[in-house]
Homo-oligomer: A and B are copies of this chain.
Amino acid sequence: MSKVFFDSAISLDGYFAGDNRGPENPMGGVSGLLHQWMFNQRAFWEYLGVEGGSEEGNDGTYIRESIKRTGAFIMGKRMFEEGEVTWPENLYKADVYVLTNEEREPWVQQGRTTFYFINDGIHSALEKAKKSANGLDVRIQGGANVIQQFLNAGLVDEFFLHLSPVFLGSGIRLFDGIDKNKYQVQISEVIPSDTTTHLRYKLMAK
């Protein structure tokens, strides 16, 4: 059955993004610090269809598996606006459902990825994303606030953290105001690497 997951890089102090986020400054400028492990890997650049990345290790295997399972994405309006101008056209190879209050026609990026704008809530977005995923899994892409909403609604089945060995000091935390009574959490996998630690957790409704 189609699962709902998220898969996020965070700093040691738990930040998902830095300060002063915006289209001019995606992720508050901290992507290089949190995602270096990914940029190093050939698997990531293969996915984008361009040359790049010199390494092939645990991290690369991890990236391939994550890509293979994802049949649709859900993200917040703010994350969408940060990326709309700057994302490579083939970053998302499946439908993306954007949570927003506005009405907007679907946007087909360069004849490839379709972004649908959903203004009737997270349950509706999830229903549509699951349908589109057609048996594959739905990835809650972010931002942190959207992941928190899905967590607190009890809708997440598992998640991956990439714990980067860096302090950011301030920014937007991935886990803020999480309902402690919602889930029993189980460690399901730990993949060490030199540049990050991949941690996989299963969530069971309490």
Tell me the A residues contacting B by CB distance below 8 Å: 12-14, 161, 163, 165-170, 173, 175-180, 182-183, 185-187, 190, 192-197, 199, 201
Contacts of A185 in B (CB 8 A): 12, 165-167
A155 to chain B, nearest CB (A): 15
Q: Which of B180, B186, B196 contacts A165 (CB 8 A)?
A: B186
Q: Which of B170, B182, B197 contacts A190 (CB 8 A)?
A: B197
Which chain B residue shows the least CB distance to A182? B167
Secondary structure at the A interface, as helix, strand, loop or mixed, is loop
Copies in the complex: 2
Known contacts A14-B175, A179-B169; decide if A194 and B190 are in contact (CB<8 Å). no
**A167 and B163 form a contact (CB under 8 A):** no
New A-B contacts (10) at CB < 8 Å, excluding given A13-B14, A13-B175:
A13-B173, A14-B14, A165-B201, A167-B178, A167-B180, A169-B178, A169-B179, A169-B180, A187-B195, A190-B197
**A201 and B14 form a contact (CB under 8 A):** no
**A36, B192: Cα distance in complex, Å:** 23
**A173 and B14 form a contact (CB under 8 A):** yes
Contacts of A176 in B (CB 8 A): 13
Which chain B residue shows the least CB distance to A165? B185
**A195, B176: Cα distance in complex, Å:** 23
Which chain B residue shows the least CB distance to A175? B13
Known contacts A187-B197, A190-B190; decide if A175 and B167 are in contact (CB<8 Å). yes
Contacts of A183 in B (CB 8 A): 167
What 5 pairs between A and B have smallest CB-CB spacing? A13-B175, A169-B180, A190-B192, A165-B185, A14-B14
